[in-house]
Structure 1
């Protein structure tokens, strides 16, 4: 696909309108869906689709430049200019809307992207819904004007100014279990808060979208070496990079998709060494001789991989 338009939503969030290189209708999608994009850095990243689901001529995504970017978001901001071609996988949806009478949509920061798409779809269906949208400040609130105009008093905007004492109190919305279904997307503290206050609700009424299920790099990680058995070459994996990233940085071709330990694409056989597994894919009987190189590391010492 090609970047047909790029516009700044905030200082750190950019919107990209992607169109196919050939004149063809794109695969359809439903509200809450995401696409996986091969960013200019080579990193594969998932981004929620923002635009209306009925337009088959384009996909619209919004990307936040992460402060600790591992290459994906920074390269989208710095290198994906209008006219740039990007490899985009067909839409997937792990965050489907349910068919109920009333909804509460909760967004935190860049987590607004699937929530905005859901609100547009619920508006089209004439369903009842409310939105709670939490950000640090007005200047950091993507789609503020559009959503305020579109949804009026059905949207509540809350800014906490980065002060923990000003974080929005969700308890009143969850004190008594409701038939309302809740859809929440945002940073980990927000997700944990909603899980905590909704623990007494019936199962299946509160839904979450989280693109960071695995902590790829941790503070106590150390560097180690990976030897590629087919070429005999050895690559050092720094403490702040994954095996996959280190291989890519050194010019080795890698096969990957989610790069978050959830899809299984980069599954690799271990010929020597022991892995510290951080993925959500491998079965117990596979962990002795396989590793997901996008997130997992050497437990101690070095590794020899069947690459």
Structure 2
């Protein structure tokens, strides 16, 4: 399975916070890029080769560039770290065209909730709603003002339609959303942020009508777990055997070994890296394979081994 890609060039980058950097990408050959709507994301092949999804921040009508913001993750396995360290002005990257799984719906009123780097699609939505004079309010939760991307831009643009909350990293100081959800409203809610924030919003909105509360989550699968162990993979077609460490996926290890393979989401949701399993007992962690496929197929971007060894047709 192959996916269309676009070649882009990094034209500028700037620091938004100590850990978040903004990147502006233009078509490598010039001209407009494909349109997109607020909530869209692109998949970027980072300098390390890792495929990562990033929400688009800028306007989507006949865009001459795409703007993304990337947080350097402390336990980066190659994506965010390589963007921060190796994606310099002039760097060319391959991306997949915009996809929107977090589309704004028609509503009389909007509540937009962002946590940390989850502000990127929320900021894009707010800018569109502002241009259209649609009623909305934003709740933006971060650790501190210094950790708040687009702080001054959003304060200037949205004024009292923006509520900022800084918890200092202390769970006891987390924002209390109950007042916003106690009584169901004629309103649509869009939420993007870390897992605890999204779980809190899910918890307090359970009595709302279905379809009123929308979530964006790029990490539906826990790719590496604390109790993971190393295992061996024989690549039958290549005639090589590799050792997969506890903190790396099969795909990442194959890539590091210089063996060509294909991937897209790298989160177990798209099916691009589906591989024939010849032998061994897999630990399936994807969200794609049908039950009848699990005996002889594996998604190498997320799944691992329950046996000491797997044999793959690669």
Of 184, 191, 194, the match for 1:187: 194
Is 1:33 matched with 2:40?
A: yes
Is 1:145 matched with 2:174?
A: no
- The residue that corresponds to 1:66 in the other structure is 73
Q: Hey, what's the Cα distance between the residues in 1 that align with 2:51 and 2:239?
A: 27
- The residue that corresponds to 2:138 in the other structure is 131
- The residue that corresponds to 2:114 in the other structure is 107
- The residue that corresponds to 2:294 in the other structure is 287
Of 56, 59, 64, the match for 1:57: 64
Secondary structure of 2:97 counterpart: coil
- The residue that corresponds to 2:16 in the other structure is 9
Secondary structure of 1:29 counterpart: coil
Matches within 5 A, 1:268-287: 268-287=275-294
User: What's the CA shift for 1:55?
Assistant: 4.7
Secondary structure of 1:221 counterpart: coil
Of 214, 217, 240, the match for 2:221: 214
Secondary structure of 1:91 counterpart: strand
For structure 2, the 5+ residue unaligned runs are 1-7
CA contact 2:34–2:62 (8 Å) conserved in 1: no
Of 236, 240, 244, the match for 2:243: 236
User: What's the CA shift for 1:126?
Assistant: 1.3
User: What's the CA shift for 1:129?
Assistant: 0.3
- The residue that corresponds to 1:84 in the other structure is 91
Of 175, 189, 195, the match for 1:168: 175
Q: Hey, what's the Cα distance between the residues in 2 that align with 1:99 and 1:135?
A: 28
Q: Deviations over 1:67-101 (max 9, x none)?
A: 11011000000000111111111000000000111
Tell me which stretches of 4 or more aligned residues in structure 1 moved more than 2 Å.
none
Please, what is the CA RMSD of the aligned residues? 0.7
User: What's the CA shift for 1:54?
Assistant: 2.4
Secondary structure of 1:257 counterpart: coil
Secondary structure of 2:305 counterpart: strand
Of 265, 290, 307, the match for 2:272: 265
Secondary structure of 1:115 counterpart: helix
Q: Hey, what's the Cα distance between the residues in 2 that align with 1:55 and 1:112?
A: 23
- The residue that corresponds to 2:205 in the other structure is 198
Q: Hey, what's the Cα distance between the residues in 1 that align with 2:294 and 2:62?
A: 43
Q: Hey, what's the Cα distance between the residues in 1 that align with 2:252 and 2:207?
A: 41
- The residue that corresponds to 2:4 in the other structure is none
TM-score, normalising length: structure 1: 0.99
Secondary structure of 2:92 counterpart: coil
